[in-house]
Structure 1
Amino acid sequence: MNSFTEENYLKAIYKLSLNGVQGVSTNAIAYKLATKPSSVTDMIKKLADKKLVSYQKYQGVNLTKKGRDVAVSIIRNHRLWEVFLVEKLNFKWDEVHDLAEELEHINTHKLTERLDEFLDFPKFDPHGDPIPDKDGYIVQHKDITLSDLKIGEKAVVVGVKEHSKSYLNYLEQQHLVLGAEIIIKDIVEFDATMQILVNNKHVIISNQASKNLIVKKN
């Protein structure tokens, strides 16, 4: 059995490897987990001993198949619990991440499958992130952000790249939640600030905020 800390490392390495780069640096892992590089080095050795990662000096860290399976399982648990908390316990989407971080480690196969069935097999979590299926398959799609759109284009909000409580709370205040319909009315040339219509309501959104909002063009 793996410890909570080991599972968090595997999950972090998996997410850092999604950009297609072979070999995740220990510095990148340390930054993501807010820990010391020396602590990362020690943990990588433990994970390598368990055949969960492979590591070569100057070439970074890669998950083995066994390690990937564990990481994807934790992510599946996390996202299913987020759906449960929002849909069944009426938590807001900016309240569930930390709770799901604790619940994700209840890694009992039977419980996970019952939860999935209870929730009617959701495909996405409350933030629009795809939920891995029971075989570990994750839907991959190219992210288009609000900042990619031009004046006059229309889109629907389908996800977020930033999961901080402050950002999600800001989006909710602006009615920029999943399913919200958007029309680009104007873009300021100087700093790319956007004037948009959100469900027929005028909203001004900064470039930093628009770069983290995932949309699908209509």
Structure 2
Amino acid sequence: MQISENFRWWRQRFSDGGGELIEYYVEACENVPAWLESNFNDLRGFRDELAAHIRDSSVGPFPSETQWSTDEYLRGLWFDVFGAEPPPGDPYPVPRERWGRHRMTTYLRDIPYRHPERVGPETLEWMAARGITFEDLAAYREPGADVEYSRPEPAGFRQRLDELTAAGKRSGPAEGERADEARADLLDAQRSYRDTGHTEQADAVDKILADREPRDE
């Protein structure tokens, strides 16, 4: 599936600019119910296209990522923008109970969970619609918590990509052009963590590396 100009426009709108535009990202996510009702700038079309891209892995891998980790990022975007119900047709939906307590998103990351009194009504409404509690966010940050940055690439995923490519539903490689460099950087970080006694961080990097590896059937 080709990426439309409408999709590109909304992807830019739902971007935190590497953390520098988080306020605009949060505001955009909170405006979604009203925008959907009026179909502002064809937001419904973006919703349908995002679901299709997740289903068919048709947004190519980001430069430093694999196709799987790119798809996982888009699942987080879907959660932030459209809610906890998985996108229609998603072959690998994230279980609803994983969000917040075990799995973080751009929107969730910025909620001041230690100070609920600082949380505005729009955020409370957003959280309630997704079943997220302050206890979930606190549990995510507990030492040794069961957290995931993404899930392990499923067995047979690369074969699925080949089939989708052959069917004309996607194009491109299974990994971005700088994915190997990213692996090397992660290995360097892991060694540094171990050398300085930061074993928990080193183990977290180990999990990230393992999750990026392809798995046979």
Task: Place the TM-score, normalised by the shorter chain, in its bin.
Answer: under 0.3
Q: Which of the pair is proportionally richer in strand?
A: 1
The structure with the larger Rg is: 1
Q: With structure 2 as the length reference, what TM-score do the two structures score? A: 0.28
Q: Which of the pair is proportionally richer in helix?
A: 2
